[in-house]
Amino acid sequence: MFDRDRWTEIYMALRANKLRTFLTAFGVFWGIFMLIIMLGSGQGLENGVYHGMGDFATNSVFVWAQPTSKPYKGYKQGRRYNFTNQDTKAILDNIPEIALLAPRIQARGGDGNNNVIHKLKTGAFNILGDVPEVNKIDPVTITAGRFLNQVDMNEKRKIAILGKRVIEVLFEEDEDPIGTYIKINGVFFQVVGTFKSMHNQGWGDWQNQCIFIPFTTLQKTYNYGNRVGHYSITSKKEYTATYVEEKVKALLKRRHKIHPDDQRAIGSNNVEKEFIQINNLFMGIAGLIWIVGTGTLLAGIIGVSNIMLFIVKKRTKEIGIQRALGASPSIIISSILTESVVLTAIAGWFGLVFGVLLLEVISKAIQNGGGDESMFTNPEVDFNVALIALFILIIAGLFAGVIPAKRAMEVRPIEAIRDDG
């Protein structure tokens, strides 16, 4: 049942000490406001990092050939070698833990010196010989047409899928690339698709300057024989990428007569390990945010306890009169605790609301300023987490009123009535 007199009493008690009440409430407000902002900022940074990595398969690993660093079975240190189509078959036949295997070869001049022509326009782009599986390991967004398929591979078709930057350089703004022909290093290819990278700047910029053609076509057309540049590999769900990486390296070392302890002969990049490191980093950041935020909230709660102690001291005579007139201890304790909770809840709620609103403003500003390329994306806070934080804050506010409530019960009616305040 709503007790108007009781709430009026609470309001008057807090209003009687305006400055102290305001400063205390601001401490609580600032504590939860900063917690929400820090949580949202941490999430925005995490979103930006993961967005920058696109939809990379988190269980993937990349391996490539490098000069040997140890002599072995009559071969000298520094020997150069290449992966081949036979290696591809051996890997698939002997390592069942692999989910996807995508060999790639990059045409000579992969630093951007390939000569690509469309009508009177020319450009230098990265020419990649790939298989359809690569788009499941490091996907791109198909903006028109299609990606590579197995028929392209089997028939060694001269078809190409162009990156966003390639289209901007070689084609007019209102020109449809699909179905047109471009000349790559003197050979004509038909454009069957266009794409844009899912990554942010850096890798995304490089990928947008790529042209995908069938792996088998590149090998045959540009006389690469059966050579493979590198492998993109994903493990099955029940196995780790690290386990598969070790098995692939061991197999390739045996096939190419490389010393088992040669750590440099096969280069690799384990995306799974990178994701684990990133996850651990953000878990650490989140933990630090909660520690700092909790400390800030604790300072606000201590402020609430202090203001309630002050209020109890100022109301010593009033409390004594209430007790002399027969007010039960529960009523007096309930009054003190309610004041503490009300102050904490109202200040905490405003801190929560203003924090969420500020994050929304920041998010909109980032989107309007080209958020797709930002390393800080969609700063947000889980609303359930925010409500839990507010709930914990209110409970803490309840406990903050315990000491003042106990102090109030220590007041002796006769002494309180004699007290001039």
Of the ranges 18-22, 286-290, 328-332, which is most confident? 286-290
Which residues lie closer than 8 Å to 353 by C-beta, 6 or more apart?
none
> What value does the mean pLDDT take over residues 187-216?
92
> What value does the mean pLDDT take over residues 323-337?
65
Between 3 and 348, the more confident residue is: 348
Q: Which residues, in sequence order, are bridge partners of residue 195? A: 142, 163
Contact between 303 and 27 (Cβ < 8 Å): yes
**Degrees (nearest 5) of the Cα angle 350, 352, 354?**
65
* pLDDT tens profile 24-70: 778 788 888 888 888 888 888 877 777 666 666 788 999 999 999 99
Q: Mean of the per-residue pLDDT values for the chain?
A: 83
> How would you label 17-41 residue by residue, b for 16+ Cβ within 10 Å and e otherwise?
eeebbeebbbbbbbbbbbbbbbbbb
* pLDDT tens profile 379-395: 777 778 777 777 877 77
In the DSSP assignment, the letter for residue 199 is: S
pLDDT band at 100 (very low <50, low <70, confident <90, very high): very high
* pLDDT tens profile 210-252: 999 999 999 999 999 999 999 999 999 999 999 999 999 999 9
> What value does the mean pLDDT take over residues 298-324?
67
Task: Check residue 241 and give its pLDDT.
Answer: 94
One-letter amino acid of 141:
T
Asked which of 112-116, 249-253, 358-362 is least confident by mean pLDDT, the reply is 112-116
Asked which of 126-140, 170-184, 294-308, 354-368 is least confident by mean pLDDT, the reply is 294-308
Phi and psi, residue 123, nearest 5°: -165, 160
